[in-house]
Amino acid sequence: MTARAIRPPARWLALGVVAAMAGAIALELVREARYPRDTVAEAVLYFPPGRAVTRLALSYDALLADVYWIRALQHFGSTRLKKDLGEKTYALLDPLLTITTTLDPQFNVAYRFGAIFLSEAPPGGPGRPDQAIALLQRGLEAKPGHWRYMQDIGFVYYWWLGDYRKAAEWFNRGADQPGAPWWMRSLAANTLAQGGDRRASRALWQSLAQTPDNDWLQRDARRRLQQLDALDAIDELNARVRRYREAGGGQPFTWEALVRAGLLRETPQDPTGTPYELGPYSGEVTVSPESSLTPMPTEPPRIAPQP
């Protein structure tokens, strides 16, 4: 028998490869369905937070930092999309960001975005401004004198903790750094004078919207400004609903009632073009759950007026 005669036909070999691969994939699917594993928890287990991480990474620490950055983004995004509120714990966000910034201490965006993610109130985020501040302070250890991190720390104190004295302190500290813009000083002054006032909040977000650091930061700041515009509009709409009731119209169940009464020209829409909702029983105006502005922020408490 010649060697050619005993060689199996190529199509049988190809079929064998396809069959074996299909079988392997089928078994993998069955295993995933029967014994699901928490993939993100596994991802964290690859490396414990700490300096040892950089040693284990040899000279590939920057690339590993990118991998952990993407994991942090995926964890934040996927947790945010979960329907079950009990699952929205964001428990791995801080460890993932810590690993990212330990691997690459110069990873500017990981500090800045990370702080935004960490301080975002539930259910949109873990509501951990303390961790956000700690992250930014680690950024300052890596880049001492980086006024943007100081601005961000001041911002967390202002917006999420309502501690205007601390916020102003950080804005002032940022203003003292070489290259800091002139408006940092007025930001500090405004914060002390009108903390919690919507105008002061708007000035704060406008300063972030002008940041050239990143498109994403600018987009987020613009969205926050739209939310503030929506809050202004809601105040105005609530006033018109009250006027309707005081004029003897009773509880308006729909916007049409206010349009017919001449209090509105048309169904009011938020800055994204989604109609506002009018609570049929409470009469309270809110942003629609369908709007991209949802969830709306809880405004920080207003500073007590000076006597």
Partner 1 sequence: MTGTIGRIAVNVFRESVRDKVLYNLVAFAVLMIGASVLIGQLSAGQEVKIIKDLGLASMSVFGLFMAVFIGIGLVAKEVERRSIYALLAKPITRTELLLGKYAGLVLTLVVNLAIMTAAFYAVLAWMNWQASEGLRKSWEAPALDPALLKAIWLVLVQLMIVTAVALLFSTFSSPMLSAALTFGLYVVGHFNADLRNFESVVSSRAVAWVARGLYYLLPNFAPLDVKAQVVHGTPVPLGYLALTTGYALLYIAALLTLAAWIFSRRDFK
- Contacting positions for partner 1 (CB under 8 A): 55, 58-63, 65-66, 69-70, 73-74, 104, 106, 108-109, 113, 212-216, 218
Shortest reach from residue 76's CB to partner 1, in Å: 10
DSSP structural state of residue 180: -
State CA 107 to chain mean position distance.
18
Give me 166's structure tokens. Answer: 């601390």
Name which of 1 and 58 has its Cβ closer to partner 1: 58
Find, among 220, 215, 187, 214, the residue nearest to 201 by Cα. Answer: 187
Shortest reach from residue 142's CB to partner 1, in Å: 10
CA–CA dist 68, 104 (Å, integer):
10
The single residue listed with the structure tokens 């594993």 is 37
Name which of 177 and 186 has its Cβ closer to partner 1: 177
Name which of 74 and 269 has its Cβ closer to partner 1: 74
Whether the Cβ atoms of residue 175 and residue 188 lie closer than 8 Å to each other:
yes
Shortest reach from residue 64's CB to partner 1, in Å: 9
Q: Which helix (H) or strand (E) holds 79?
A: helix 61-81
Name which of 71 and 173 has its Cβ closer to partner 1: 71
Shortest reach from residue 74's CB to partner 1, in Å: 7
CA–CA dist 175, 178 (Å, integer):
8
Shortest reach from residue 56's CB to partner 1, in Å: 10
Angle at 167 (CA atoms; ends 101, 128), nearest 5 degrees: 45
Any residues with CB less than 8 A from the CB of 292 and at least 6 apart, and which? 223, 272, 274
Determine how many CB atoms are found less than 10 A away from the CB of residue 56.
Answer: 13
Name which of 101 and 201 has its Cβ closer to partner 1: 101
Shortest reach from residue 60's CB to partner 1, in Å: 5
Name which of 213 and 236 has its Cβ closer to partner 1: 213
Shortest reach from residue 243's CB to partner 1, in Å: 44
Cis-peptide into 49, omega within 30 deg: no
Name which of 60 and 253 has its Cβ closer to partner 1: 60
Give me 305's structure tokens. Answer: 């007026």
